[in-house]
Chains A and B, each alone.
Chain A
Amino acid sequence: MIGSPLPRLDGTAKVTGTARYAFEHRVADPAYAYPLQATVARGHITAINTSAAQAVDGVLAVITHENAPHLASTEDAELAVLQSTEIAFRGQVIGAVVADTSETARHAAGLVEVSYDPSPHDAVFTPDRDDLYTPDTVNPSFPTDTSQGDVESALKQSPVVVDHVYTTPMTHNNPLEPHTTVACWHDDQLTLYDSTQGVHSTRQSLAKALGLAPERIRVIAPHVGGGFGSKGQAHAHLVLAAMAAQAMPGRAVKLALTRQQMFSLVGYRTPTVQHVRLGAGPDGRLTAISMDVVEQTSRIKEFAEQTAIPARHMYAAPNRRTTHRLAALDVPVPSWMRAPGECPGMFGPEVAMDELANACGMDPVDLRVLNEPDVDPESGKPFSSRNLVACLREGAARFGWADREHAPRTRREHGWWVGTGVAASTYPVHVKPGSSATVRFQPDGRYRIEIGATDIGTGTWTALTQIAADALSVRVDAIDLRIGDTDLPPATVAGGSSGINSWGSAVVDAARAFRDKFGTGPNPGDEAQGTTPGNSAGERFAMRAFGAQFAEVRVHAATGEIRVPRLLGVFAVGRIINPRTARSQFLGGMTMGMSMALHEQSVLDERFGHVVNHDLAEYHIAANADVAGIEAHWVDETDPHVNPLGTKGIGEIGIVGTAAAIANAAHHATGIRVRDLPLTADKFLADARR
C-alpha cells in the first residue's frame, strides 16, 4: 500500500482514450463559444459591430460589454469580464461568439468589428524604472522585505564578494490540455465540466463573480491534463463560458482556449531581475546574503512572485537582506507557475554560490555543506527535518562527482565542451486547511472514499487510494475513490505541492474516525467524516523539502548548441506514498527545469503588449530529444512533524534548482558564465574561441 509502486489506476483509461477530459464530456447538442480579444494594450472600446457575425448561419449569440450580464463582484479585476469598455491589456477578453459549431463561432468572431480609442500603453519591463513599487506582501502573504544584521558593512569587509545580476524571462504554463470548460444552465443551476486544479475553489470564485450561492454551481473535473498553477485559479474564460451558457438556458456551451489565447489569459511567470550579493571569507563561509528582486505585475491585478523567499532559508550567514519591487504594466495578469518563488528564486542564488565556489577555489558541493545552517536562518526555528547535505552527498556519489576536473573549460570531446554542475533545490511544506473526506462502507464490501480533490496528472487517484487502503488496513481494490466533483466533500486546490499532505491527511482522519466508530466489521451505509487536522508544529519548526541536482552539459565549440546528456536529482521530501508516481513527478519537474534552462522564453513585444511567440512551434518546451539521461532518487526521511502522513509534497521541488545546475555545468564546460536564462546557443558564441 503506502510505499508500493502501484501503477496508475487511471492509466488504462488514459492511454486508451476513454478518460474524459473537460471538453470531451458528452452533452446533448452543445453550442460552442469562441472568445474575442482586444487588439490594443490600453484604451477603450468606442464601438463594437456584431451585425456581420450575427448574420452568419449558425451563430446563436454574440456577447459583448453591451449585452453581458452585470456581475455581482468585480473585485477580482481579472474576472470582471465584459463589465466596461476599458482595455487593460492586449488579449483581454472583450466578447464571445456562440454558434452551432466551433468553426462557425471562430469564423464569425473574425467578422466582429471593434473600434478603439487607444491610450499610450506601457509594457516595458526594466529594473531601472523610476516607478517600481513595494507590494504589501509577496505571494501568498510573505513579508516583502527582510533584513538581519548589516549586509552593507559585511559585504565591505568580506574578503570574497560575488555581486551579479541574474535574470529569468517571462514564461508560460503550457499544460498539454488547454483550458477548457463546458457550461450549462439548467433550472437555475450551473454545471461546469472544467479543466481545473480545484473544483471547490473554482466554484467559490465563480459564485462570487456571478453572485450565486455556491450550492447552485457544480464543478466536475475527473481528469485534468496538467495545470502547473495556471488552472489553480479561475480565469476570465470561465466567467465568459458561464455568460455564454446563460445566454442559452438549457443548452451546454463548450469553450476551449486556443494555445495562442492561453498566452494572454491564464497567467504566466513574471520575468525576474535578481541582484544577488554574497560575502564570504576566503574559506567560503558566508558572512552576507543579499537578494534584491524586480519583477512585473499587471496594472489591474497584483501578483507579487515571492522570488527572494528561498534565499531566506538556504544558507547560514549572520547578515541577510531580501527585497521585492514591482513594475505595474499594461500586460496580462501573472500568476502561479510551478514552484512560484522557489523556481526562479533558486536560479540567481544557486549560480552565485557556484561563482563563490570558483572565487574561493572550492568544490561547489563542499561550499554548500560548509554553509549548512543549524536552524532556519529566517525564523531561528529548528527544521522539522533538513537533509540537503545527504542529498548532495548521495547525488555526488551517484553522479560520479569525485572524478570532476576542477577547472572550467578543460574537457573537450569531438568538438563539444563538456562540463558538470550542481545546485540545490528546496520547497516549503504546505498543508492547507479546509479539506474533508467521507468514508462509507458499501453493500459490495468496498469502502467508498469521497473528497473533492483533483488529479492534474500527478497521480492523485492512485496515491489517495493507497492512503485510504493503508489507513483502513484493506487492499487497494477494496477502495472506491471519488474525486473531482463539488458534490463531494470540499477539498483545497491542487497547488503548492499540498495535495497529498492536505487531502491525504483528511482521508486518514476519516478512516480513523470510521474504524473508531464501526471497528473492522461495519455494516453497509456506515460512514464517517474526517478533516485535514490543524498542525501546531509549524509554530515550533521550519518545514521544507530539499534536494540536490547534478547536470552534465555539452556546448558545441563552433555553433554554441547546448545539450544536457545527464541530469540527476536526489530529494529529501519526507515519506513517499508511491515510488512510481513520485518518480514521475520528479522527472517531470526536472524536465520542466531543463526546459526553463535551455528553451522557455515568452517574448513580449513592448510595442504591441502581447507575447508574439505564442504557440508551441515558437515557444520552445523541451521535447523528447532534449531529454537524455535523467534520474531521480530520494533519501529516506522520516518527519513526524509535517502531518500525519509524514509527506512533504513532491509536485514542485523537481523544477527548483535545475536551471542553476545546468547553467553551472555550462560554465564548467565553456568558462562562459551565462546569468540570463534561457541558455541559448548565441550566449555561448559571444566569446567563441575555437
Chain B
Amino acid sequence: MSIFLDHNATTPLEPRVLDAMLPLLRGTHGNPASVHRFGREARVALDRARAQVAALVNAQPPQVMFTSGGTEADNLALRGAVHAAPRSRLLVSSIEHAAVQETADALAKDGWAVERIPVDSECRVDLPALEKLLDGGARLVSVMLANNETGAIQDVCAAAGLAHARGALLHTDAIQAAGKMPVDFTALGADLMTLSAHKLNGPRGVGALIRNRRVDLSPQITGGGQEQGLRGGTENLAGAVGFGVAAELARVELNARCRHLRALRDHLEAQLKQLSGVRIFAAHAERLPNTVQFAIDGYAGEWLVMELDRRGFAVSSGSACHSASGRPSHVLLAMGCNDTVARGAVRVSLGVENSVDDLDALLATLGAITARRRGAVAFA
C-alpha cells in the first residue's frame, strides 16, 4: 500500500461523493435534454449540482457552466474571451498551469498578442508589471488563484482591480485553491473562474467555468445548445452530481480541512528543515495549507521522486501534466531559480486522509535516502 502525497495532481474520491454518483451510474437516467420524466429528473439533479458548485465559490447557479474538466474550462475562458473580441491582447501570468500556458501559446501562433506577467522570487505575480502591461490594452488577464507547484496564493482581487480599470476582463484558474481556502468569485471581482472536481475529492472528467454573465464568450464546443449555448454535448450527469456533492462537502468542511492540512504541512516543513540543504520554495509567500515544494541540495527532483516511489510514496516533482517531458518547472524558472535548482524540486501535496504518521514515514525515508547518497553525485 503506497502513501499518496500528490493531491495537487488528483485526489481520491470522497466516499460520500461516490455514494451520490453510484445510483446515477446504475439506474436508468435520461438525457437532461429530453422532455420525458427521465430527462426532467436528470435536469433537476444537474441544477442541484450547479447550485452546490456555485455555493462553494459564492457565485450564482446560472453563472456555473459545466465542462469536461479544468483544462477545457481554461481553454474556453481564454479562447472564448479573445475570440469574442477580434485582434485583442491577452496577458497571462508566467506561472500558469499548462492548460492556460499552452492555450495562450496556441493563440499566439494564431496571431493574437500574448504577454507574460512576471512573478517575484516568492512566486507572486508582479502587480506593478501587470499595470504596465495593461497600459498597452488587453481583452483578458489570466492570473491563477493558487499555484499548483508552490502553492503560492495570488492577489487576484488586486489584479482584477487593475484589469477592470483598463477595461480588461480577469480570468482566474482557481482549480488548486477551491476546497483548500475560501474562494469568493464575487468578492474577488473575477469575470471568469475555472474549477475542477477531481482536485477537491470529486470525480475526474468534470470541471466548471464560472462566468459573470456580462462577459461575451464564443463557444469552443458547439452542438446541442447545452450550458447556455456555450458548451455543447450531453452533460456528464454522474460527474456533475459528484462535483456538486464534493463542492458541498468542501464548503461545509473547509475550516476543519484547512486546519488539518496546515497542521500537517507545518509539521512536515519543520521536520524538513532539520535535513541539511533543504530549500522550501515560496516559503515567504502566503500559500495553500497543503503544499510544500522543496529541493534538497545535491539531489535531482526526478531521482528523489523515483526513489520515494520505489518505497511506496507517491509525490511529484511538479505538475503531473509535465512529468513525462523532463523539462524543469517553468514556475521555478519564472521565480528566477537556475536550471539546477529547478531540477531539484519535489512537491508534496497533502490531502485530508493523510496523517502525521504518513509524514513521519516520508521524512524517515527521505532521511535514509539522503544519508545513503550523501556526498554521491545525484545528478545522473
Tell whether A and B belong to one assembly.
no
Binding site for A on B (CB under 8 A): none
Binding site for B on A (CB under 8 A): none
